[in-house]
Structure 1
Amino acid sequence: MTQPELVKIGKLEIKYLIDGSVHKGMGLFELTVPSGSNVPPPHSHIHNEECIYVLEGILRYSVDDVTRDLHPGDVMCTPKGSAHGFSNPYEEKARVLIMLTPDIGVQYFRDVASIVNAAEPPDITQILAVMARYGLVPAS
């Protein structure tokens, strides 16, 4: 078995466990969010449902008009087309499992990392273009 791929986007770490994009199936990755990290803007997915399960720490997660502080063992799901976002305003890092179906794949995170890690501040126009290619729509 090969080691899961680790992609770093700023302070965020994405450890891809299952890349389902090849067969348009379910994907699974572990996301580590240090305290106060820059996070993606709230967005929706045209093609994907997302479910988040907290392993460690506390993650603030929003879906449409509902915002919750999720603790270890908590689950929150995002239906296709619902606006969602997250943050970690707490001192301890948060570590979560995220399942996407169908998966957008690890290449999405590689593409975003190449922009975010290249310049400070990152070029938001390029990030929005990558998001659009993978069916992510910024929340208005």
Structure 2
Amino acid sequence: MNPDEVIKAGQLEIRYLVDGTATGSMGVFELTLPPGANVPPPHSHRDNEEFFYVVEGAVTYSVDAETRDLTPGEWMSTPRGSVHGFRNVGSQTARAIVVLTPDIGAQYFREVAAVVNAGGPLDKAKLVAVMSRYGLTPALPAQPAA
């Protein structure tokens, strides 16, 4: 793992600090999120818990039915299987430290970046295929009440 590698997936930047995939342990990466950036769709992790800690800026983070605006020093955790998502609706770039246990690894983000950065309209089927290989499932859109 190259600690200076920055993986750019669209407008997002991911810099791995600890890649835990070799040992099946915890992974840690820094996420840089410009204002209004395209973000991953709400999703769940079959095999991973996630901890999201804001270092700079503000991030709106949702876990299941709870949504909070996180500022520096604030955090949320996502239990395995919970639907979560995030966005930067502020006016400045946000940075967060993300911990996954066990880790999905930098290779996941490299594969996502290859799909997202391919040019043209996003190939959603390819993106879902990458997510599925790593145990991530996009959330189904909310259904209107009957």
TM-score (normalizing by structure 2)? 0.93
Question: What secondary structure, in the 3-state scheme, does the structure 2 residue paired with 1:47 have?
Answer: coil
AA at the equivalent of 1:118:
A
- Structure-1 separation of matches of 2:133 and 2:36: 28
Matched residues, number? 140
2-structure distance, mates of 1:95, 1:67: 18
Asked whether the equivalents of residues 3 and 15 of structure 2 are also in contact (C-alpha less than 8 Å), the reply is no
- In structure 1, the gaps of 5 or more residues are none
> What displacement does 1:2 show?
5.2
Kept in 2, the 8 Å contact 1:61–1:84? The answer is: yes
Partner AA of 1:9 in structure 2: A
Return closer, same or farther for 1:17/1:4 CA change in 2, 3 Å cut-off: farther
Identity in percent: 58
State yes or no: 1:61 paired with 2:61: yes
Secondary structure at 2:126's aligned position in 1?
helix
Q: SS of the residue aligned with 2:61? A: strand
Contact 1:12–1:37 (Cα < 8 Å) also in 2: yes
User: 1: distance between equivalents of 2:84 and 2:2?
Assistant: 32
The amino acid that maps onto 1:41 is P
Runs (4+) off by over 4 Å: none
**Unaligned regions of 5+ residues in structure 2, if any?**
141-146
> How does 1:64-103 map onto structure 2 within 5 Å?
64-103=64-103
Within 1, Cα distance between the matches of 2:81 and 2:5?
28
Would you say the 8 A contact 1:50–1:99 is kept in 2?
yes
Q: CA deviation at 1:87?
A: 0.5
- The aligned amino acid for 2:26 is M
The amino acid of 1:109's aligned partner reads: F
Task: Find the counterpart in structure 1 of residue 124 from structure 2.
Answer: 124
AA of the residue aligned to 1:115: V
Distance 1:64 1:127 in 2: 22
The aligned counterpart of 1:40 is: 40
Structure possessing the higher radius of gyration over alpha carbons: 2
The answer to whether the 8 A contact 2:3-2:16 is kept is no
Q: By how many angstroms is 1:120 displaced?
A: 2.6
Contact 1:5 1:17 in 2 (8 A): no
TM-score (norm 1): 0.97
Instruction: State the AA in 2 paired with 1:14.
Output: I
